[in-house]
Amino acid sequence: MSQQYITIYDVEGQPAATTPEDMARLAGRVFPLTERIAGGAGEAVDFGDWFVGWRKQQGIASEAPLPTHLKVEAVDAFEALIPWEQLADAAISFAINGERLPKGGPIRLYVPNGSSACLNVKSVVACRFLQDEERRGEVSYGFKQTFSADEMRNKR
């Protein structure tokens, strides 16, 4: 099976690639998704635990300001902008019975206390941490409408 990567962008826009397995390792505790999502299948990690581990790995001080938003991008060009406050109970699903997600992977983000079910995003391939005080609390989701020339070339 080919390696699946998720690109994580810090608040400065600097990218780094990671795998679902690395995300689980950084989070520490793996739990059944049913702990957060009724009827959920597979293994998950707490988004907040993963974020703390990721910041440590990146050398970001624990007292550094938290992002105002998380923007997730899916393989099908679906995007969701999620206010940080709505991520308190978020979970990252990454495996079923110890194997990569058969569909909806490489990871799936669940936001059980989000303002819309559309904030639960499957096939996440990029996470962007944003610091935008002017848009604090703003939520958006939908399919990306504009693509750069580089993105179009990479889709071929």
Residue 1 is assigned to a structural domain of this protein: no
The 8-class DSSP code of residue 68 comes to S
Confidence of residue 4 (pLDDT cuts 50, 70, 90): confident
pLDDT at 124 over 60: yes
Q: What residue numbers bound the domain in which 47 lies?
A: 6-155
Contact 72, 119 (CB under 8 A): no
Q: Is residue 27 part of a domain?
A: yes
Give yes or no for a contact between 36 and 44, defined as CB atoms under 8 angstroms apart: yes
- Supply the pTM of this predicted model: 0.88
Could you read off the pLDDT of 63-122 as tens digits, one per residue? 999 999 999 999 999 999 999 999 999 999 999 999 999 888 999 999 998 999 999 999
Residue 53 belongs to a domain = yes
Task: List, as one string, the DSSP characters of 97-144.
Answer: TTEE-SSS-SEEEE-TTSS-GGGSEEEEEEEEEE--GGGTT--EEEE-
- How many domains, the chain? 1
CB 129: neighbour CB atoms within 10 A? Answer: 21
